[in-house]
Structure 1
């Protein structure tokens, strides 16, 4: 769970109620995802908190029909959260040499921004809304604004409507699936790439 108060440079936003939300999200992703790297989707959050379950919900939705080229970490069954984040980041880099990580997390912010989904380059800072010191993750990130921040964050998260979070999760998952379908992926073996760099 992170916090978002203002736009960052190069950030794109789309609202969950926009009729073309998933299509717009897929277009934003396609503009930034490299075609020669494995894409790892790190869905951060926990199933123990309604407001913070956005990431695991998306992970489970994506795993229901496995993706062909994207690799998913973080589901309702096996959440990616504060207790295992450091170890999972290490495991991702061991399993996927030089991956491009798309991190996904719920966030809190202004009341007027609830329902917004932001897509931006750069790392995500999980746990920032709850003042947790966790390692940043991601080359690119998606943040879903699930509720208002600034006071009693734990209570706010527990009282976030599940319907609202599930609706956002379904549309984000649909956008990711659409992006993978449109993407042209050219696999570049790590060993070959390494030899080329050494010349």
Structure 2
């Protein structure tokens, strides 16, 4: 959960209202603008959060929705079955970097913000910083990030998270997952099998000292 919300790298963020008719399409376009030059790298989405807190369940909900879509172009980590959260984030990041050579990572997390921005989905350059607002020392995640403002910040944040409406979080998760799915259909040049082959080749070269 990224409680630092919208104060991080404000100018670099592109925002969408989650229930706008074109929100998923616009999110897909923004993602493709960011990753189009990175097609030689595996594209990995890391969905951060836990279903033990309604407000913090945005990430794993997105991950589970994407898992159901069986994406062919992107890799997804962090689901309701296997969440990525404060207790295992560092370990999971190490695992991901072991599984993928030089991955291009998109971090996905919930955040709190101003009341007028609740329901807004943001895409920003640089990593998301889970736990920044509660002084947790957690690894930053992502070359770029997607965050969803699920509730209001500034007072009793954990209580606010526990009392965030699941209806809103689910709608935001569906929009984010829909945008990522659309981006996966348009993502050019490399199929998943080609990416796997490239990773195997690079791994073998490293193992052989080349």
Partner of 1:98: 102
Query: Which residue of 1 is the match for residue 28 of structure 2?
Result: 26
Q: Cα RMSD between the aligned structures?
A: 1.9
**8 Å contact kept, 2:28–2:179:** yes
Q: Is the 8 A contact 1:129 1:153 kept in 2?
A: no
Output the CA distance in 1 between the equivalents of 2:51 and 2:203.
39
**Structure with the larger helix share:** 2
Tell me the alpha carbon deviations over residues 78-113 of structure 1, each in whole angstroms, 9 at most, x when there is no partner: 100011100000000000000000100000011111
Q: Does 1:37 find its partner at 2:38? A: no
Q: Which structure 2 residues correspond to residues 54-69 of structure 1 after superposition, within 5 A? A: 54-69=58-73
Is the Cα–Cα contact under 8 Å of residues 101 and 202 in structure 2 kept in the other structure? no
Secondary structure of 1:117 counterpart: strand
CA contact (8 A) 2:69 2:181 kept: no
Residues 61 and 170 in structure 2, CA contact (< 8 A), matched pair in contact too: yes
The offset of 1:193, in angstroms, is 10
Q: Does structure 1 conserve the Cα–Cα contact (< 8 Å) formed by 2:46 and 2:106?
A: yes
Structure 1: how far apart are the matches of 2:134 and 2:168?
A: 21
Mapping of residues 167-182 of structure 1, within 5 Å: 167-182=171-186
Does the 8 A contact of 1:41 with 1:70 survive in 2? yes
Q: Which runs of 5+ in 2 are unaligned?
A: none
How many Å separate the matches in 2 of 1:78 and 1:130?
Answer: 24
Aligned counterparts of 1:185 and 1:116: Cα–Cα separation in 2: 31
TM-fit CA distance, 1:9: 3.0
Q: Is residue 9 of structure 2 the alignment partner of residue 5 of structure 1?
A: no
Q: Give distance in 1, aligned partners of 2:65 and 2:100.
A: 22
**What is the CA distance between 1:151 and its match in structure 2?**
1.0
Taking the aligned partners of 1:17 and 1:63, their CA distance within structure 2 comes to: 22
**Structure 1 residues 81 and 109 mapped into 2: Cα distance closer, same or farther (>3 Å)?**
same
Q: Residue by residue, what CA displacement relative to the aligned partner does 1:149-189 show, whole Å, maximum 9, x if unpaired? A: 11101100000000000000001000000001011033462
Unmatched segments (≥5 aa) in structure 1: none
Distance in structure 1 (CA, Å) of the matches to 2:5 and 2:91: 26
Cα distance change on mapping 1:121 and 1:194 into 2, 3 Å = farther
Q: TM-score, normalised by structure 2?
A: 0.88
Give runs of aligned pairs for residues 1-199 of structure 1, distance below 5 A: 1-2=1-2, 3-6=4-7, 8-33=10-35, 34-186=38-190, 187=194, 189-190=198-199, 191=201
Instruction: Tell me if the contact between 1:130 and 1:154 (Cα under 8 Å) persists in the aligned partners.
Output: no
